[in-house]
Structure 1
Amino acid sequence: MELQITTLIENNPSDDGQLLFEHGLSLYIEADEKKILFDTGQSGDFIKNAKALNKNINDLDFCFISHGHYDHSGGFEKLVSEAGKLPTLIAGEEFFKPKYKMADTHGYKFNGNSFDEEFILKNQISLRKVKEEMVYLTEHIMVFHHFMKHTDYEKRNNRFFIKENTKYIPDDFEDEISLGIVTERGLVVIVGCSHVGIVNILKTISENVDIPIYAVIGGTHLIEADEARVQKTVDAFKEMKIQLIAVSHCTGEEGIRLIRQELKEKFLYNNTGRVIQI
């Protein structure tokens, strides 16, 4: 089975400088005779890039949103307004809990989804809330949810909260989901931000499926990590014998530098417009 992943939008510009870019992530995935939109960036500009890259948003089977932050779900309403055929939305069951971030001087700032379940119902969008730890979408495509804590060095940002009634509660990112695609070379894992820790995600997946992880593609949220954490993360990649680390979005310049330095030809910066074929 062939797998093709096209990065529609990401923090950094395309190599030719012709595509739009923004803080966010959106990938167009073609696998197992399915077309999947993985995250929607923050503005909906991924749609313009999709047209430039000859990727048809009307052919989508699924729209997969990794977690409820604006830079991953913000373009969904534009997709709904512009697509003639709406894909099934797949998200964690906790996806619609309102998310906030503690601002330095202005208290709590909303940074969650711009739409709610009423919007989904109004537009007659098929919604699949993932409750299980693992769900098969097809024979070769699966969704992972509820990641266990395996490391003591992957700390979650204590400025992120969810709001329940009138209370702000630390966000443990229970809504976060990742995508797994089985290829001849092994399992390809696609992640949005990895707020729960990229190593926690990969080790949990390894416990659930007896397939070697060949590649990791997406955001690793090492932007706030110190050198010691990045080094332990790289050591975990080596221990799991992962052959391709294609990072995007929230990895951070220092994380990119260290991963590139350590993994050499196994490293790829997955910037806007990049196409990966496996």
Structure 2
Amino acid sequence: GHYDHTGGLPFLTGKKLICHPAALEPKHRKSDGSWNGIPIPASDIRKLFSVTETREPVWLSSSVVFLGEIPRLTSFESTTTAFVNDEGLDDFIPDDSGVAILSSEGLIVISGCAHAGICNIVKHAIKVTGEENVHAVMGGFHLKEDNEVTRETIHCLKDMQVSHVYPSHCTAMEARMAFAREWESPIITSGSVINLPPPMIEPD
């Protein structure tokens, strides 16, 4: 429910919107109290969209699933937060989620900002889909430097035998370079093209 992931909503009105209930709650930066939430009031969103608020996974098709609320399982992810709610209490962004796609070559996991931790997201995607072969993980990893947390994340994804890793939004260049070295993959920027295998299609 942060502004940098929802700025396009005014151009998509009338559509079905699936989100965690906390996505529509007020959000602020801890540092100065400035607004960090969706740029449209929650009351207007409920009028402009067909809204489904859920903490549970939702299958959008036979091969694509919204992952719902991500369990925080790892010891090194989601340990601090830079955000608070209206009451000034720490907001660990429970609405942070992702999408998983069952492809012809394995699971593809797409994150938004990975406030829940990218390893937690991948683990949950495996549990929800039942597919342990992870072809690709891509999106924001919320890693700000090449530090111990980044190294733990790399080790975790390696343990899960993830074939391809493409960190982007909210991942510092130093961290991106660390992933690129480990997976011998290109560094992804705006305008990059990633060729992925097609989703699995159930026979008629």
Instruction: Report the TM-score, using the length of structure 2 for normalisation.
Output: 0.88
Task: Choose which of 214, 223, 240 in structure 1 pairs with 2:135.
Answer: 214
Unaligned runs of at least 5 residues, structure 1: 1-67, 81-85
Partner in structure 2 of residue 29 of structure 1:
none
Using the TM superposition, give the Cα deviation of residue 92 of structure 1 relative to its aligned residue in structure 2, in angstroms.
1.2
Aligned equivalent of 2:25, options 87, 97, 100: 97
Aligned residue among 71, 75, 87 for 1:152: 75
- Letter of the 1:158 partner, please give it: T
Cα distance in 2 for residues equivalent to 1:250 and 1:136:
27
Alignment correspondent of 2:55: 131
Q: Which protein has the bigger strand share?
A: 1
Match of 1:277 in 2: 195
Question: CA 1:140 to 1:155, structure 2 compared with 1: closer, same or farther past 3 Å?
Answer: closer
Q: CA deviation at 1:75?
A: 2.4
Shift, 1:151, TM fit = 1.5
Aligned to 2:156: 236
Whether contact under 8 Å (2:146, 2:178) holds in the other structure is no
> How many pairs align?
195
**Judging changes above 3 Å, is the alpha-carbon distance between structure 1 residues 157 and 77 closer, same or farther for their aligned structure 2 residues?**
farther
Percent of paired sites with the same residue: 29
Contact 2:15 2:50 in 1 (8 A): yes
**Corresponding position of 1:43:** none
TM-score by length of 1: 0.66
Deviation at 1:205, TM superposition (A): 2.2
Instruction: Indicate if the aligned counterparts of 1:179 and 1:190 stay in contact, CA closer than 8 A.
Output: yes
Alignment of 1:112-131 (within 5 A): 112-123=37-48, 125-131=49-55
Query: Could you tell me whether the CA contact under 8 Å between 1:156 and 1:195 is conserved in 2?
Result: no
Q: Distance in 1 between matches of 2:19 and 2:65?
A: 13
Q: CA deviation at 1:159?
A: 2.2
Greater RCO, CA 8 A, separation 6+: 1
Does 1:75 find its partner at 2:8?
yes
Q: Which 5+ residue runs of structure 2 have no aligned equivalent? A: 197-204
Shift of 1:136: 0.8
Question: Which letter does structure 2 place at the counterpart of 1:222?
Answer: L
Q: 1:159 to 1:252 in 2, by over 3 A?
A: same
Q: Secondary structure at the match of 1:95?
A: helix
CA distance in 2, matches of 1:249, 1:263: 18
Cα-Cα RMSD = 1.7
Residue 207 of structure 1: how far off its partner (Å): 2.5
Any conservation in 1 of the 2:93–2:115 contact (CA below 8 Å)?
yes
Distance 1:189 1:268 in 2: 18
Structure 2 match to 1:47 = none
* Other structure's SS at 2:34 match: strand
Amino acid at match of 1:98: P
In the TM superposition, what are the counterparts of 1:165-184 in structure 2 within 5 Å? 167-184=87-104
